[in-house]
């Protein structure tokens, strides 16, 4: 049996929704302290005729392994066009289920990364629009912030350097 399911390879080969959104409604960053993966996710949120908040567009960027990239791509396809409140309910288990074949145990944490970035982007949207932040989202935000700080320490100077070599 190959290590990864067809679904993972499909998304890894051709990740959907790669890139960024200018002036996003919400922007979320998450990092994985275990292996050093890091990602950014952008949301464009608009209200429909009924006044419901809809994720109109979503984009992401990931420095990470196969599962991290594939999962984020999969997640973006799951939330695009969906109601914000439904996107909030997504858990990493939902992602893992969609991948078709059980992940190797040491790869489970990679799935958390995508969900974290999504939740952070939604948190950012709530904050910007001065909406009341649900308790779960706030708790998650605190955990993610702590991890991110650790990673930033590790990656300090990295961005400036990348800018220079890749220009």
Partner 1 sequence: MKKIYLDYAATTPIDPRVTKAMLPYFSEKFGNTMSLHSFGQEAKQALEESREVVANLMKAKLNEIIFTSSATESNNLALKGIAFANENKGRHIVISSIEHPCIIESAKWLEKQGFEITRLKVDKYGLVEPDDVRKAIRKETILVSIMHANNEIGTIEPIEEIGKICKEKGVYFHTDAAQSFGKILIDVNKMNIDLLTTSSHKMYGPKGAAALFIREGTKIEPLIHGGGHESGLRSSTVNVAAIVGFAEAARICQREMKIESERLTKLRNKLIKGVLQKIKGSHLNGPPASAMPKALWAGPPASAMPKALRAGPPASAMPKALRAGHPKKRLPNNINFSFPGIEGESLVMQLDLLGIAASTGSACSSEKLEPSHVLLAIGLKPEQAHGSLRLSLGRWTKEKDVDYVLEVLPKVVKRLREISPFKR
- Give residues in contact with partner 1 (CB under 8 A): 4, 9, 12-13, 15, 18, 29, 34-40, 61-66, 68-69, 104, 106, 109-110, 154-155, 157-166
Which position among 110, 117, 144, 151 bears the catalytic label? 110
Q: State which residue, 63 or 137, has the beta carbon closest to partner 1.
A: 63
Q: Which of 50, 68, 58, 55 is nearest to 11 (CA)?
A: 68
Tokens of 111: 């799935």
> Nearer to partner 1 by C-beta: 65 or 137?
65
Kindly tell me which of 90 and 108 has the beta carbon lying closer to partner 1.
Answer: 108
Whether 35 sits among the annotated catalytic residues: the reply is yes
CB of 135 to partner 1, least distance (A): 29
State the minimum distance, in angstroms, from the CB of residue 89 to partner 1.
26
Q: What is the per-residue DSSP string for 141-155? A: HHHHHHHHHHHHHHH
Least CB distance to partner 1 at residue 39 (A): 6
Separation between Cα atoms, residue 60 and residue 161, nearest integer Å: 21
Three-state DSSP class for residue 18 = strand
> How many Å apart are CA 143 and CA 154, to the nearest integer?
17
In the complex with partner 1, the residue whose CB is nearer, 68 or 121, is 68
Alpha carbon distance 63, 166 (integer Å): 15
Given the residues 9, 35, 54, 63, select the one marked as catalytic: 35
Going by the DSSP 8-state scheme, the letter that residue 4 receives in this structure is: S
Q: Which residues are catalytic?
A: 35, 110
């Amino acid at each position: 049996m190959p290590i990864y399911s067809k679904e993972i390879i499909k998304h890894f080969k051709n990740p959907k929704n790669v890139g960024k959104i200018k002036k996003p409604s919400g922007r979320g960053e998450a990092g994985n302290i275990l292996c050093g993966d890091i990602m950014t996710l952008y949301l464009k949120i608009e209200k429909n005729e009924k006044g419901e908040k809809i994720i109109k567009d979503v984009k992401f960027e990931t420095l990470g392994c196969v599962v991290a990239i594939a999962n984020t791509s999969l997640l973006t396809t799951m939330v695009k066009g969906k109601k914000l409140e439904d996107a909030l309910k997504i858990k990493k288990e939902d992602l893992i289920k969609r991948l078709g074949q059980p992940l190797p145990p040491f790869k489970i944490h990679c799935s958390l990364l995508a969900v974290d970035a999504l939740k952070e982007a939604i948190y950012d949207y709530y904050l910007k629009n001065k909406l009341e932040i649900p308790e779960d989202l706030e708790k998650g935000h605190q955990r993610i912030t702590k991890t991110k700080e650790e990673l930033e320490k590790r990656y300090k100077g990295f961005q400036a350097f990348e800018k220079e070599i890749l220009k």
